[in-house]
Structure 1
Amino acid sequence: MEFSYLDGTKAIKNLSINIVRGKKVALVGNNGAGKTTLFLHFNGVHRPSKGVIRFKGEKIDYSNKQLKELRKSIGIVFQDPDNQLFSASVYQDVSFGPINLGWPEAVVREKVEQAMQKTSTWSIKDKPTHFLSHGQKKRVAIAGILAMEPEIIILDEPTAGLDPVGTGQMMQLLDQFNQTGATVILTSHNLDEVYAWADDIFVMENGNIIAQGNPEEIFRNEEVLRRANLVKPWVLEVYDHLVAKNMIRHQPQSPRNREQLKNLLG
């Protein structure tokens, strides 16, 4: 597919992508590579200038009825949570989506509380949203999406602005959501987290996808890293150095995180 903005900027160029249901998927690449633009095609905010988008094999026709159903199934959390939070209190903000889905009041209350418990925001449910920290705002934005129980959740830089502890908690939260059977798709410049977390990685450069594969395939492809201006995750770099120095044996599968590397070191 292709997509151009009104000023003529061609943001997506002859791109083809297939995302497998139930996977943890990461899109990586430089700023301006087209990641956010692509995301906004997934739930019909943008419409391709050329080509089609399919959901569950069905072509999106952009009718009001189909877009409404699509957006029930696919939730997007933007990089800046202030772009999503607009109600007076946390509870009101999280309940906005379920209310607009037309659910009975009792169902809304149940789904909102479940989402807020999962995101550790129930204790701040009565707080004004503008008094929250950046990390709290991100959790509230995610709770608002989870409360609608989408099949797919898309997150643009979910760990941006979070400290290491907050980053770890966020990735655990996304793991939990994925374990319910949902598909999780994110963009991130935190390549260490992407390497540790993702099942599949798509690399974008200049409006196109230049590589896709599992984390080790992507981060061992020196040409792809060079073209997309990416760096090898530190765990993989340290592991390769230790193997080269005969300090540890080469493994069939490289370690993906700190704990796996520490286990190899004994």
Structure 2
Amino acid sequence: MSEPALVALRGASFAYEDGPAVIGGLDFDIREGRALALLGRNGSGKTTLMRLLSGGLKPHEGRLTVEGRPVSYDRTGLTRLRTTVQLVVQDPDDQLFAASVEQDVSFGPLNLGLPDAEVRARVAEALDALDIAALAGRPTHLLSYGQRKRTAIAGAVAMRPRVLVLDEPTAGLDPDGQERLLTTLDGLRARGTTVVMATHDVDLALRWADDAALLTPTGVRTGPAPTVLARTDLLREAGLRLPWGAAAAALLRAQGVLTESAPGPRTPDDLAALAAGLRLGTGGSGA
């Protein structure tokens, strides 16, 4: 029998006051150690799902579990949940409120009642992980947008969660900022943090994620990212386009360049390497 998901929703339903159900009868798993991309059209329920996973909302029906144990929504239960799951919202200005970077990042650990030395250690660790240690004393209102994004993520990382849930973390960042953030997320994963990213960017999801979850009107469809993101029927149902990498892989297979079992390109660099191999006469078999 397989181990339970690290975090799971079972039969979860939720509707806002005087509104229709946003989520109904949903089963959803976060598996430890897997990078998961959450995708869907506007209004599909991505934000609601993330808030249910992090305890910001309570399902009207169904339950949330951590390692198979139901979450209780009292102070003790929510504290336990928030040391397991941390949500970083899309707009950092909705999350930052303290006068300086260091003060903002320290807020969560202080609320846990940790000793001062432990708080300082966690803040230093989080600032270092997000590559913003030099900004510790800077007023938050003087930060660039990308710096505010990193500060908001650092505040979550300082809680040392096992799962970090990010809502559109690359939105509003220039290409260099996006690359730096993805490198940071790779570093967090290497340290043992499971990362869930909500995004509209199917190309980013294909490049970055191990698994993809598509929110569609008929339910959530989850599986390995290269497989799920090549399903034009599911993408159409979710209101998303085909990633260029999946389209390129289909063309390469149709031309006999790749075998059916060979992985397709996930990035332009992957495609360039494949083309270089073909020019050298070493890539034609698709092996």
The reply to whether TM is greater than 0.5 is yes
8 Å CA contact 2:202–2:229 kept in 1: the answer is no
Q: What is the deviation of 1:43?
A: 2.2
Tell me: higher relative CO, structure 1 or 2? Use CA pairs within 8 A at least 6 residues apart.
1
2:234 equivalent to 1:224: yes
Q: Normalising by structure 1, report the TM-score.
A: 0.94
8 Å CA contact 1:24–1:197 kept in 2: the answer is yes
Report the CA distance shift for 1:52/1:222 in structure 2 as closer, same or farther (over 3 A).
same
Distance 2:219 2:233 in 1: 16
8 Å CA contact 2:35–2:208 kept in 1: the answer is yes
Distance 1:263 1:179 in 2: 25
Higher strand fraction (1 or 2): 2
2:50 equivalent to 1:39: yes
The equivalences for 1:181-260 within 5 A come to 181-206=192-217, 208-209=219-220, 211-245=221-255, 248-250=257-259, 252-260=262-270
2:135 equivalent to 1:140: no
Gaps of 5+ in 1: none
8 Å CA contact 2:212–2:229 kept in 1: the answer is no
Distance 1:55 1:114 in 2: 25
2:179 equivalent to 1:168: yes
Report the CA distance shift for 1:225/1:67 in structure 2 as closer, same or farther (over 3 A).
same
Distance 2:204 2:99 in 1: 33
Gaps of 5+ in 2: 1-11, 277-287
Distance 2:56 2:126 in 1: 25
What does the per-residue CA deviation read over 1:7-64, in whole Å, with 9 as the maximum and x for residues that have no partner? 2231101211122112111110101100110111112211111111111100112122
Partner SS state of residue 17, structure 2? coil
Decide which moves more: 150-159 or 113-122.
113-122
Corresponding residue number in structure 1 for 2:284: none
Corresponding residue number in structure 2 for 1:121: 132
Aligned length: 264
Distance 2:211 2:162 in 1: 18
Q: What is the deviation of 1:80?
A: 0.4
Percent of pairs identical after alignment? 39
Q: What is the deviation of 1:184?
A: 0.7
Amino acid at match of 1:230: L
8 Å CA contact 1:26–1:185 kept in 2: the answer is yes
Amino acid at match of 1:100: N
2:282 equivalent to 1:262: no
2:121 equivalent to 1:110: yes
Q: Normalising by structure 2, report the TM-score.
A: 0.88
What does the per-residue CA deviation read over 1:193-217, in whole Å, with 9 as the maximum and x for residues that have no partner? 11011111110024831x1111121
Amino acid at match of 1:42: L
Report the CA distance shift for 1:158/1:207 in structure 2 as closer, same or farther (over 3 A).
farther
Corresponding residue number in structure 2 for 1:24: 35
8 Å CA contact 1:157–1:189 kept in 2: the answer is yes
Amino acid at match of 1:17: F
8 Å CA contact 2:129–2:188 kept in 1: the answer is no
8 Å CA contact 1:11–1:206 kept in 2: the answer is no
Corresponding residue number in structure 2 for 1:59: 70
8 Å CA contact 2:163–2:194 kept in 1: the answer is yes
Partner SS state of residue 61, structure 2? coil
Amino acid at match of 1:208: G
